[in-house]
C-alpha cells in the first residue's frame, strides 16, 4: 500500500490523508445540524463519497448524537460490500440502506444529508407535498425536487433501493420523502448543507404561509426558474456560508475537527 494512504482498521479500505479535511467538513455539518435542531435524537445520517465512482463513503457511526460527532469518529464504508452490516462498527441499518443505495446508483450525489427537520417533514405529510415558489427561497427549489409518495416503512435495503431511484436525475437535488423527511444531495459538503439549510427555511415559510389561511401569491413559472438559475450561479455563496459556520465552530467547538 502506498505510504500516502491510511488503512481503515475494520475494512482495509485505503483512505488518503486528504480525506481528513472531508471528515472535518462532514463533522461540521453534523454539529450545525444539531445547533439548528435538524437532528432526530440519535437517528438520521449524512454521508460523503471519497473515491472516484462514489461507492466508498464516510458516514456517522451508529446511534451517535449529531452534537458530539468528531471527524475521527466517522466510519468508512463501501456501498458494494455485502458484509458491511457484519462489521463491529456497522452503521445504522436504515443509514446503510439509504446511503448505500444512493452511492451505488447515483454517482453524482457526492454528499447526501438525510434529516427529519420539522418543516420539511411537515411538508412531506401534506396531501400535496410540492413546494410552490411563493418567495425567493422557495423559488430556489423550483423543478429541482423529487417526491417519493410510496412510503413503505423503514428504509431497509429494499425500501431504500426503491426510494433512492428518485434521485437518479441529476437535476433533482432534494428528495421529499413523504411521511418521512427529506434527503438533500450535493457535489460537496458546503453545497449540500447550504441546500439543506435553505430547503428547511423555504418549507418553514410555506408552512407558516398556509397557517394564515389566506390565498398564496405564487411566482410565475418563468420567474421562479430564472430565480433558481440565478441562485445556482451566485458566486461562492454556499462555500462562504459553510466557511462562516466552520469559523464559529473553530471558536466554540473546535473538537469537531479532531
Using DSSP bridges, classify how beta strands 145-148 and 174-177 pair: parallel, antiparallel or unpaired.
parallel
**Which residues lie across from 114 on neighbouring strands?**
45, 183
pLDDT of 50 reads: 96
Residue 177 CA from chain centroid, whole number:
13
The series of mean pLDDT values per 10 residues for the chain, 258 residues long, is 40 60 97 97 95 95 96 95 92 93 95 98 98 98 95 80 90 96 97 98 98 98 98 94 98 97
pLDDT of 158 reads: 80
Q: What is the pLDDT of residues 9-49, one digit of tens each?
A: 444 455 556 589 999 999 999 999 999 999 999 999 999 99
Q: Is 35 exposed, middle or buried (0-12, 13-18, 19+ CB in 10 A)?
A: middle
| Three-state DSSP string of 89-145 | CCCCHHHHHHHHHHHHHCCCCCEEEEECCHHHHHHHCCCCCCCCCCCHHHHCCCCCE
Pick the CATH number of 6-257 from 3.40.225.10, 3.90.1150.10, 3.40.190.10, 3.40.50.970: 3.40.225.10
Give dist(CA 144, CA 126) in Å, integer: 19
Q: Which residues contact 74 (CB under 8 A, 6 or more apart)?
A: 23, 26, 27, 58, 59, 60, 61
Give dist(CA 59, CA 96) in Å, integer: 9
Q: CA angle 216-219-221, nearest 5°?
A: 130
| Residue-range domain boundaries for the chain | 6-257
pLDDT of 17 reads: 61
Cell 450535493 maps to which residue? 186
Give dist(CA 20, CA 72) in Å, integer: 8
pLDDT of 13 reads: 54
DSSP alpha helices (H): ranges in the chain?
A: 19-35, 93-105, 118-124, 136-139, 157-164, 189-211, 221-232, 237-252
pLDDT of 151 reads: 87
Provide the b/e sequence for 223-240 (b: ≥16 CB within 10 Å).
ebbebbeebeeeeeebee
Look at the alpha carbons of 63, 119, 98, 196 in this order and tell me if their dihedral is positive or negative: negative
Q: What is the pLDDT of residues 80-89, one digit of tens each?
A: 999 999 999 9
Give dist(CA 221, CA 247) in Å, integer: 38
Helices 157-164 and 93-105 cross at an angle (nearest 10°) of 40
Give dist(CA 198, CA 193) in Å, integer: 9
Cell output for 144: 429541482
- Percentage with pLDDT > 90 across the chain: 85
pLDDT of 3 reads: 35
pLDDT of 126 reads: 98
Amino acid at each position: 500500500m502506498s505510504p500516502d494512504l491510511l488503512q481503515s482498521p475494520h475494512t482495509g479500505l485505503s483512505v488518503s490523508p486528504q480525506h481528513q479535511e472531508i471528515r472535518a467538513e462532514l463533522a461540521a455539518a453534523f454539529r450545525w445540524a444539531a445547533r439548528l435542531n435538524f437532528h432526530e435524537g440519535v437517528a438520521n445520517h449524512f454521508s460523503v463519497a471519497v473515491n472516484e465512482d462514489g461507492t466508498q463513503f464516510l458516514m456517522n457511526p451508529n446511534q451517535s448524537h449529531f452534537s458530539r460527532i468528531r471527524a475521527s469518529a466517522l466510519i468508512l464504508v463501501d456501498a458494494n460490500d455485502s458484509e458491511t452490516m457484519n462489521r463491529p462498527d456497522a452503521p445504522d441499518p436504515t443509514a446503510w440502506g439509504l446511503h448505500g443505495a444512493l452511492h451505488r446508483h447515483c454517482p453524482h450525489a457526492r454528499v447526501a444529508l438525510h434529516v427529519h427537520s420539522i418543516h420539511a417533514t411537515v411538508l412531506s405529510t401534506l396531501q400535496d407535498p410540492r413546494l410552490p415558489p411563493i418567495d425567493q427561497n422557495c423559488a430556489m427549489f423550483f423543478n429541482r425536487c423529487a417526491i417519493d409518495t410510496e412510503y413503505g416503512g423503514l428504509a431497509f435495503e429494499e425500501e431504500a433501493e426503491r426510494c433512492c431511484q428518485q434521485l437518479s436525475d441529476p437535476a433533482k437535488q432534494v428528495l421529499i420523502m413523504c411521511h418521512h423527511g427529506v434527503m438533500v444531495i450535493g457535489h460537496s459538503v458546503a453545497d449540500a448543507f447550504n441546500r439543506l439549510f435553505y430547503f428547511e427555511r423555504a418549507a418553514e415559510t410555506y408552512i407558516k404561509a398556509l397557517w394564515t389561511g389566506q390565498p398564496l401569491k405564487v411566482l410565475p413559472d418563468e420567474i421562479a426558474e430564472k430565480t433558481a438559475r440565478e441562485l445556482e450561479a451566485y458566486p461562492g455563496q454556499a462555500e462562504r456560508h459553510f466557511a462562516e459556520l466552520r469559523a464559529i465552530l473553530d471558536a466554540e467547538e473546535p473538537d469537531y475537527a479532531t
